[in-house]
Amino acid sequence: MEKQVGAENVAAAVIEPIQGEGGFVVPAPGFLPALSALVHATHGALFIADEVQTGFCRTGDWFASEHESVVPDLITTAKGIAGGLPLAGVTGRAEIMDAVHTGGLGGTYGGNPVACAAASRRDRDDARAGSLRRAARRHRVGDAAAADRTGQGPSTRSASVRGRGAMIAIELVEPVAARRAGWADTDAAAAQAIAQACHAAGLLVLTCGTYGNVLRFLPPLVIDDDTLHRGLDI
Fold: same for 7-124 and 129-233: no
Give the pTM: 0.85
Q: Which of 178, 154, 173, 175 is nearest to 215 (CA)?
A: 173
CATH placement of domain 7-124: 3.40.640.10
Whole-number pLDDT of residue 126 = 43
Domain chopping of the chain, boundaries: 7-124, 129-233
Whole-number pLDDT of residue 92 = 95
Class of the domain covering 129-233? alpha beta
Q: What is the mean pLDDT of each run of 10 residues along the chain (234 residues)?
A: 87 95 95 95 91 91 93 94 88 93 80 89 62 66 58 65 89 71 77 95 94 90 85 88
Whole-number pLDDT of residue 32 = 97
